[in-house]
Amino acid sequence: MAIMKALVYLFVYPGLLFLFVYSTFCEWFDRKLYARLQNRVGPAYTGRAGILQPIADFLKLLFKEDIIPENADRIIFSILPVIGVATVATAGLYLPLWNYDVSRTTFNSFQGDIIVVLYLLCLSTVILFLSGWHSTNFFSTIGGVRVLTMLFGYEVPLFLSVLSPAIVADSWRLAEVANFYQDFPFLLFFQIIGLFVALISLQAKLERTPFDIPHAETEIVGGTFTEFSGKKLAFFRLMTDIEMVVGSGLIATVFMAGFAGGLMGSLARFVLKTLIVIAILSIIRATFSRIRVDQMVVFSWKYLTPLAILQLLVSIIIKGVIK
């Protein structure tokens, strides 16, 4: 029975099948909301209200011609998109969607799993850099360098902001952090600054406007994805969609008291809270225009990092008071 549950967890819910279906739905939701904010229609024809458009785009790319640059390392160039999807999908398995009984040991919940999720999300960004670098294309190389430059800007405030609620909860285990704020929801009020920093940092990690600098089509064609086509491009797009779901789920876990409940209740809470986060990201995307990479780094170190440190100090003070 334990083996069957593990297989269901890995491949069905919240495993690969669920992540694929829900991430494509979130892409449709994001595109639809973004379009309406710009007074456009957005996806409209494939499925009801265009809801199947992301899946149609994915399948279409799978059957497109798959080209590998002549000077690129064929093995690394081909395997990086698969590793990218595997990385973010693995991070999604650590979100506490099923078991909230922290007295039981499970394969996907342990002390420090919050660090593992942050590490895996960071690793996906490194994969984007390697993809651009190994494309041996001028525009791809510039895009890869921009990815790495941005990484040194937003990653520190993202880590500090996400770990601040964990300090108050006195645990590095996602399920325990969520349980703590289920019991003391009023303490979430003191994490508002961290929530703001985490949202902005996640927007930068996903390379969405105004932080879509590494693949700015009007400047460097397609940046890191310039040489990718067919199945490889499809996997990179899927990686980005899953990363958006996992990042939103991580923020919802630590800043919105998680998704505790039965199977259906947990699923409903997960969908509702992640869609709220994605809606905020879409509003940011529709409100601002692209900035330069140097402006992004300066913004991160001048504003986001000090705010994240301030949130960390507030969390330490609150921890001392409630202790």
Q: What is the mean pLDDT of the chain?
A: 88
User: How would you class 323 by CB atoms within 10 Å of its CB: exposed for 0-12, middle for 13-18, buried for 19 or more?
Assistant: exposed
Name which residue leads in pLDDT, 244 or 228. Answer: 244
129 alpha carbon, distance to own chain's centre: 16
Among 129-138, 166-175, 210-219, 257-266, the range of highest mean pLDDT: 166-175
**Burial label, 189 (beta-carbon count in 10 A; 0-12, 13-18, 19+):** exposed
Helices (H) and strands (E) in the chain, counts: 13, 0
Q: Report whether pLDDT(209) > 60.
A: yes
- What is the distance between the alpha carbons of residues 221 and 12, in angstroms, rounded to a whole number? 37
pTM of the model: 0.92
Look at residues 119, 317, 138 and name the one whose alpha carbon lies nearest to residue 227: 138
Question: What pLDDT is stored for residue 277 in this prediction?
Answer: 96
Q: What is the pLDDT of residue 1?
A: 63
Domain boundary assignment for the chain: 2-322
Residue 101's pLDDT band (boundaries 50, 70, 90)? low
Mean pLDDT, residues 205-226: 84
* pLDDT tens by residue, 56-77: 999 999 888 888 887 878 888 8
pLDDT tens column, 241-260: 999 999 999 999 999 988 87
- Higher per-residue pLDDT: 266 or 25: 25
Per-residue pLDDT reduced to its tens digit, 128-149: 988 888 888 888 888 888 988 8
